[in-house]
Chain A
């Protein structure tokens, strides 16, 4: 029939709803459905994209149900909760909020400025972030977004103490999925980078990142054996495991460091600085390296 919409809920339950208008939202549709089928569990509060409690997966994409119109999605509409441990469509957000509580210190609980606080605690970023999924030490992107705002409002002395408790910020894997997913178009990734810079200033650095800075200054390029050593240094057991794994696989980086810096003597000569490859032939650089 015309004007009939097919909704697929968790457990492959199919519902057909008569809906004439196309400018209604998914949340409106669910409210209509809930009147007829009261056992369907939906969580919502404000209904216009402020509270973030109606975050669900619509055709596999994580979005806010109250901000998504029927005309914006493909039919049939498949709805899922954003996490697996959920009741029907309402996700269990306990883990997400526990992590938020970890960054809000009790002493400075009122430091958050309500007007500037844009994050709506929908928890979409935690679900899309692989670092917080597989690394229990890493909190969620939203938690660091708040931590950055809290740190900005503290006095220099308090800030130092506060930042010391947030060493886990270095576990970010630079996936940038949080920027893509955020329904409020915030940038938690930049907040994590800013927190890392603050951490670096007070001396909580990561050997991994520091290697990049040191190697660029001295060699102009990355020297991998040094990176291995700096990243894993206190953990000598892990260092030995990695070294044996790499040598067993035959993927040992060159031990003698190369440099990308142009020497002054070369600059003076009016030589062509390029390795030009002749058309249709194997590049000379590749040939030479094969011989080794």
Chain B
């Protein structure tokens, strides 16, 4: 099946390893991915604070570009997912996240991952409830499918602090502190923004994007999935673990 990918700005620059891993895993699962040219930045939930009309027009334009190729578009960024979902009814498109897409595809993992994993959803895939895309529980289902153990974590639907990361990092620091207390090995998130925020300002716990975890379970080497570019990996160089 054809899938249109909306990369978003962070996927091309600050957190390209996670975005590349998404494309790699989906092409390994025999899915055809199209990346059209001419997408504009979705506004990142900040443009709305200056002009509501402009945000709406930009995202309608984005969906119209995607509609030339398929009736659904997917993205690996939660904020892009939310911004596109807000206008999806006007263009009659389906907007998905990488999380929903991986849930729809049938695959059997080649490798079992014996780790304790924290599922971290982030905000914009859950709130505000704009779509019928039901996200709760999917992350846990995918983690148990790879053979890993899910750790209960009370902050899994809270904010990672990405949107205030330059000015106030206490939100992110608290999330990490609570995560270390659960004694889990990994945090897995479907959002590249959460992945960046949680990985960048620590080094004590490994953070993976959901496509990187699925990639590992499919037997793709960690280096190809861009896990060696994580801050945690650079500090401890524990290649043998993956």
Task: Say whether A224 contacts B38, CB under 8 Å.
Answer: no
Give Cα distance in the complex from A179 to B201, angstroms: 29
With CB as the reference atom, state the residue of chain A lying closest to B170.
A134
B180 close to chain A: CB less than 8 A: no
Question: Which residues of B have CB within 8 Å of A275?
Answer: 34-35
Candidates B15, B23, B50, B163; contact of A174 at CB < 8 Å = B163
Question: Which residues of A have CB within 8 Å of B9?
Answer: 221-222, 224
Candidates A189, A193, A254, A282; contact of B24 at CB < 8 Å = A282
B52 close to chain A: CB less than 8 A: yes
A25 close to chain B: CB less than 8 A: no
Give Cα distance in the complex from A215 to B12, angstroms: 15
State how many angstroms separate the Cβ of B7 from the closest Cβ of chain A: 9
State how many angstroms separate the Cβ of A263 from the closest Cβ of chain B: 10
State how many angstroms separate the Cβ of B120 from the closest Cβ of chain A: 14
Q: A250-B229, A250-B234 are in contact. Are A224 and B50 (CB under 8 A)?
A: no
With CB as the reference atom, state the residue of chain B lying closest to A180.
B127
With CB as the reference atom, state the residue of chain B lying closest to A258.
B12
Task: Say whether B158 contacts A130, CB under 8 Å.
Answer: yes
Q: Chain A interface residue count: which class?
A: 35 or more
Task: Say whether A222 contacts B44, CB under 8 Å.
Answer: yes
With CB as the reference atom, state the residue of chain B lying closest to A209.
B46
B20 close to chain A: CB less than 8 A: yes
State how many angstroms separate the Cβ of A177 from the closest Cβ of chain B: 6
Within 8 A of A (CB), among B28-79: 28, 30-41, 43-52, 54, 58, 69
Task: Say whether B23 contacts A277, CB under 8 Å.
Answer: yes
Task: Say whether A282 contacts B27, CB under 8 Å.
Answer: yes
A153 close to chain B: CB less than 8 A: no
Q: A193-B49, A222-B9 are in contact. Are A283 and B33 (CB under 8 A)?
A: yes
Give Cα distance in the complex from A141 to B182, angstroms: 30
Task: Say whether A173 contacts B159, CB under 8 Å.
Answer: yes
State how many angstroms separate the Cβ of B58 from the closest Cβ of chain A: 7
Task: Say whether B166 contacts A215, CB under 8 Å.
Answer: no
A253 close to chain B: CB less than 8 A: yes
B240 close to chain A: CB less than 8 A: no
State how many angstroms separate the Cβ of A22 from the closest Cβ of chain B: 27
Give Cα distance in the complex from A273 to B234, angstroms: 37
With CB as the reference atom, state the residue of chain A lying closest to B167.
A231
State how many angstroms separate the Cβ of B111 from the closest Cβ of chain A: 19
The 4 closest A-B CB pairs, nearest first, are A196-B49, A222-B9, A176-B127, A134-B170
Point out residues on B near A: beta carbons under 8 Å: 9-10, 12-16, 20, 23-24, 27-28, 30-41, 43-52, 54, 58, 69, 123-124, 127-129, 158-159, 161, 163-164, 166-168, 170-171, 174, 196, 200-201, 229, 231, 234
Point out residues on A near B: beta carbons under 8 Å: 130-131, 134-135, 170-171, 173-177, 179-180, 189, 193, 196-197, 200, 205-206, 208-210, 212-213, 215-216, 220-222, 224, 227-228, 231-232, 242, 245-246, 249-251, 253-254, 258, 260-262, 266, 273-283, 285-286, 289-290
Additional A-B contact list (15), CB under 8 Å, known A134-B170, A221-B12, A227-B166: A131-B164, A131-B171, A174-B46, A177-B127, A180-B127, A216-B54, A222-B9, A222-B10, A249-B200, A250-B229, A262-B37, A273-B36, A274-B34, A283-B24, A286-B23
